[in-house]
Chains A and B, each alone.
Chain A
Amino acid sequence: MNSAWWKMARRPRWIAGLLAILALAGGFAFLAQWQIGRAVAEASIESVDSETPVDLETLLAPMTPQKLSDGGRRITTTGTWGTESAIVYGKSQGDVDGEWLLRNFRVGASCLPVAVGFAENVEPSDLVVIDDTPSTISGRLVPSDDILAGNIQSSQREMVAAADLINEWTCASMFDGYVVLDDAPAPLETIATKPPVPQAVLNWLNVFYAIEWIAFALFAVYFWFRLVKDAVEREEEIAAEAGK
């Protein structure tokens, strides 16, 4: 871009050309934005009806990994409360720091860890088995926590993981993950849960089209630059011919 180029580019003809090219590039940019919008709007949202309770065993069999898309779904299941329990430390609800009471719920021969409720201090009396008649519970299915979550140096458990609990509880088999009970028995507080956020997958076809439109817009500007350069060379050649 030497001075001859700049001189040529400043001529009204080429400024008009630039405006036309910029309008075209703007059109391309608009199309790119439209494609981005489509990529999001057409994103296939993998929505699962998480709020209608389903039977646990339709989602999960003992000793099989829990599917990511099943995390957070409401479930019901029938079994009996086992004697095993645990306290999970380092929990909080609202502004209150506290603990969870975790209990074993036996579904057939398998153990299902159930987070029964929240309290600032879980009392030993809360651990007592209330009844051992078959009962149906409802709650939200949650994937196991990271086994290294929390303070692993302290002897206090700060996570709920099937891989950890199976070492302590007497279980023929175990479900992956745990259930947060819908209604905590007094004096415990019900643990707050939220429905899972739907997973959106971008539509890559539209993303690629958007990138192409941006490339076209940039190319249009370069095209103008090139046309000006050609015009300069043409004039120089004519001048050289005349000067011969």
Chain B
Amino acid sequence: MAIDRNRALAAEKTFRIAAYVTGGMLLLLTLEMILKYAGAVEIEAGGPAGFLALVPVGTVTAVNLSTWILIVHGWLYVVYLFACFRLWSAMRWPAMWFPLLAAGGVIPFLSFFTEGRVRRIVEESTR
């Protein structure tokens, strides 16, 4: 089936950036989860303990960086999904490929692998 080459390449570029940003944010989130649930500490920025400090859960008085990581990741994931959709629709992939792309933003490290695969597939189909 016909693929709009320019549209697909542009969508792939957006997807690549979104995949790296979301993937990086997801690693930060994983770190935050480990700190919170295994170490019982949260990341505090600009509090009395210094510019960046680990304080016991629930004692953050200044900026709670842990919570902000969660909020920012949540919205970056929305952007990532949008980028996935744009690429998926430009490439006219089967419906079930979309959930696979979407999983990249929630399974740590997965987006880095899918991004590589996706780039190869897109390059081959638009050559």
Choose among A209, A230, A237 the residue that contacts B74 (Cβ–Cβ < 8 A): A209
B1 close to A212 (CB less than 8 A): no
B76 to nearest A CB, angstroms? 11
- The reply to whether A208 and B95 form a contact with Cβ atoms under 8 Å apart is no
Provide the residues of chain A in CB contact with B92, threshold 8 Å: 230
Contact with A along B59-79 (1 / 0, CB 8 A): 000000001001100110110
Q: Return the contact of B71 from the options A204, A215, A226 (Cβ within 8 A).
A: A204
Which chain A positions have C-beta within 8 A of B67?
Answer: 205
From A204, A219, A227, give the contact of B81 (CB < 8 A).
A219
- Find out whether the CB atom of B78 lies under 8 angstroms from the CB atom of A215: yes
Residue count of chain A within 8 Å CB distance of chain B = 14
Q: Nearest chain-A residue to B71 (Cβ)? A: A208
Contact A237 B1 (CB under 8 A): yes
Give Cα A204–Cα B71 distance, bound, in whole angstroms: 9
Contact residues, A207-227 vs B (CB, 8 A): 208-209, 212, 215-216, 219, 223, 226-227
Assembled-state Cα–Cα distance A226/B85 (Å) = 10
Measured in the bound complex, the distance between the Cα atoms of B75 and A205 in whole Å is 11
**Which residue of B2, B74, B85 is within 8 Å of A208 (Cβ)?**
B74
Q: Does A11 contact B (CB under 8 A)?
A: no
Contact code string B74-111 (vs A, CB < 8 Å = 1, else 0): 11011001000100010010010010000000000000
* Residue pair A205, B89 in contact (C-beta under 8 Å): no
A residues less than 8 Å from B89 (CB atoms): 226, 230
Contact pick for A212, options B75, B85, B95, CB 8 Å: B75
Query: Would you call A208 and B98 a contact (CB within 8 A)?
Result: no
- Give a binary string over B1-42; 1 marks a CB under 8 Å from any A CB, 0 the rest: 110000000000000000000000000000000000000000
Give Cα A142 to B60, complex, Å: 30
CA distance A66 to B70 in the complex (A): 36
Name the contact of B2 in the complex, choosing from A205, A216, A226, A237 (C-beta under 8 A).
A237
Residues of A contacting B78 with CB < 8 Å?
Answer: 212, 215
Q: List 9 A-B contacts (CB under 8 A).
A: A205-B71, A215-B78, A219-B81, A219-B85, A223-B98, A227-B95, A230-B89, A230-B92, A237-B1
Where the two chains meet, the residues of B that have a C-beta atom closer than 8 Å to any C-beta of A are 1-2, 67, 70-71, 74-75, 77-78, 81, 85, 89, 92, 95, 98
Interface contacts beyond A216-B81, A223-B98: sample of 20 additional A-B pairs, CB < 8 Å, sorted by A: A204-B71, A205-B67, A205-B70, A205-B71, A208-B71, A208-B75, A209-B74, A212-B74, A212-B75, A212-B77, A212-B78, A215-B78, A219-B81, A219-B85, A223-B85, A226-B89, A230-B89, A230-B92, A234-B1, A237-B2
